[in-house]
């Protein structure tokens, strides 16, 4: 029998996201610079007779603890792919700190954390490539979330290039707590054949260098998301004006907006002001997870 195990599921942030093509299957090819913030959901597992899931924490109410939860789906998919690798039943708890349907991949991060947890409990080594293939079947962002370190994603998220270095930066995240359905945002895109991301500078070590590169990029989902949730546009303008903010932009399909900072103190100050002015919004400040 094992001791209680836990895995963090950090928030995903698309610092840049270019939509490059509409595919025949209706999905879109993307090129995205993805990073992870040190603010996370947490999954714990204790030995039990059968598998179960409890959801706790500030955003628990937005989620079912049943078969549709991505944690349940990830555990079931792992057991189907590697029957008997984890013999014990698992009493799982998902502590939900991240808002749901917010463009920061909470569900994908939870699925990836559940897969990492299962691989850690398995009676045999599980190759990352095989775990990643299974992850891709659970959602486009799940393979990236398995890595949880800066990377460039291409295709729908299955082609991943992890970055060996990344500047130590901080982010402020703000979400108006209006859930956004990803499909609705893609449906509103008017331009689907956009340019790829420019080449990243090598080595990439300073926040200012990253800022110069980001200024040449976009999130192509931002304009359609603002049409659905105009508050996103207001939050971007507000954060962009904060002292020390290198870039303010929307993550994923929204509605979370991030501000990128070189200084942790300036990020915390910006978060403090956002909280005072928008008491109904979710606001967080955290360092990025860097290699
Ligand atoms: C946009 C991104 C960027 O990281 O992030 P989120 O906003 O979800 O965090 C992801 O690609 C989201 O991936 P994921 O959240 O797994 O998307 P899914 O649920 O599979 O897709 C929901 C729907 O969005 C559309 N969709 C999604 C991804 C994609 N590359 N092209 C699409 O056209 C499709 O209509 C799909 O049916
Ligand atoms: N554990 C989970 N956490 C968050 N969302 C989940 C989870 N399981 C299933 N979902 C569903 O996944 C969808 C996408 O949620 P999420 O990953 O938080 O947002 P996004 O794709 O915008 O980054 C939501 O509609 C939600 O109902």
Could you report the per-residue pLDDT of 277-289, keeping only the tens digit for each? 999 999 999 999 9
Q: Name the region of 214 (left: φ>0; alpha: ψ -120 to 50; beta: rest).
A: alpha
Instruction: Name the closest ligand to CA 182.
Output: 1
Q: Taking a C-beta distance cutoff of 8 angstroms, is the pair 186, 28 a contact?
A: yes
Q: Are residues 126 and 56 in the same domain?
A: yes
Q: Are residues 197 and 145 in the same domain?
A: no
Q: Please tell me the pTM assigned to this model.
A: 0.97
pLDDT average, residue stretch 33-45: 98
Tell me, what CATH number does 55's domain have?
3.30.230.10
Token readout for 273 is: 């002001």
Domain boundary among 114, 139, 161: 161
In angstroms, rounded to a whole number, what is the distance separating the alpha carbons of residues 2 and 47? 7
Question: Is ligand 2 within 6 A of the CB of residue 14?
Answer: no
Residue 114: which residues within 8 A CB-CB, separation 6 or more?
7, 43, 70, 71, 74, 75, 78, 92
Please tell me the distance between residue 55's alpha carbon and the centre of ligand 1 in angstroms.
24
Number of domains in the chain: 2
Q: Are residues 270 and 175 in the same domain?
A: yes
Mean model confidence pLDDT for the chain = 97
Q: Are residues 125 and 234 in the same domain?
A: no
- Give the domain range for residue 188: 163-287
pLDDT at 3: 87
Q: Are residues 25 and 113 in the same domain?
A: yes
Instruction: Using a pLDDT cut of 70, give the percent of the chain over it.
Output: 100
Domain boundary among 144, 161, 178: 161
Among 32, 182, 218, which is best to mutate for testing ligand 1, by the most ligand atoms less than 8 A from CB? 182
Q: Are residues 180 and 249 in the same domain?
A: yes
pLDDT-based confidence at residue 140 (cuts at 50, 70, 90)? very high
pLDDT-based confidence at residue 268 (cuts at 50, 70, 90)? very high
Q: Are residues 280 and 151 in the same domain?
A: no
Q: Are residues 204 and 251 in the same domain?
A: yes
Buried b (16+ CB within 10 A) or exposed e, 225-262: bbebbebbbebbebbeebebbbbbbbbbbbbbbbbbbb
pLDDT at 1: 72
pLDDT at 199: 97
DSSP assignment string, 251-263 = -TTSS-EEEEES-
Q: Are residues 268 and 172 in the same domain?
A: yes
Is residue 186 classed as helix, strand or coil in its secondary structure?
helix
């Amino acid at each position: 029998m094992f001791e209680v195990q836990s895995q963090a599921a950090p928030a995903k942030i698309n610092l840049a996201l270019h939509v490059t093509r509409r595919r025949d299957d209706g999905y879109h090819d993307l090129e995205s610079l993805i990073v992870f913030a040190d603010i996370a959901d947490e999954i714990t597992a204790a030995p039990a007779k059968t598998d179960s899931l409890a959801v706790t924490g500030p955003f628990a109410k937005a989620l079912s603890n049943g078969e549709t939860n991505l944690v349940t789906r990830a555990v079931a998919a792992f057991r189907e792919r590697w029957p008997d690798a984890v013999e014990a039943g698992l009493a799982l708890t998902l502590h939900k700190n991240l808002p749901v349907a917010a463009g920061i991949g909470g569900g994908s991060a939870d699925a990836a954390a559940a897969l990492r947890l299962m691989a850690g409990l398995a009676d045999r080594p599980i190759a990352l490539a095989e775990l990643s293939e299974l992850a891709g079947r659970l959602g486009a962002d799940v393979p990236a979330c398995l890595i949880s370190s800066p990377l460039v994603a291409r295709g729908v998220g299955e082609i991943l290039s992890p970055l060996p270095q990344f500047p130590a930066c901080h982010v402020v995240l703000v979400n108006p707590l209006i859930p956004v359905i990803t499909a609705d945002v893609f449906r509103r895109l008017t331009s689907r054949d956009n340019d790829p991301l420019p080449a990243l500078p090598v080595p990439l070590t300073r926040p200012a260098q990253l800022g110069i590169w980001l200024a040449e990029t976009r999130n192509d989902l931002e304009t359609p998301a603002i049409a659905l949730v105009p508050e996103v546009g207001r939050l971007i303008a507000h954060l962009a004006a904060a002292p020390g903010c290198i870039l303010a932009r929307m993550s994923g399909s929204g509605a979370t907006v991030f501000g990128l900072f070189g200084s942790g103190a300036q990020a915390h100050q910006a978060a403090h002001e956002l909280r005072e002015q928008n008491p109904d919004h979710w606001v967080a400040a955290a360092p990025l997870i860097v290699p």
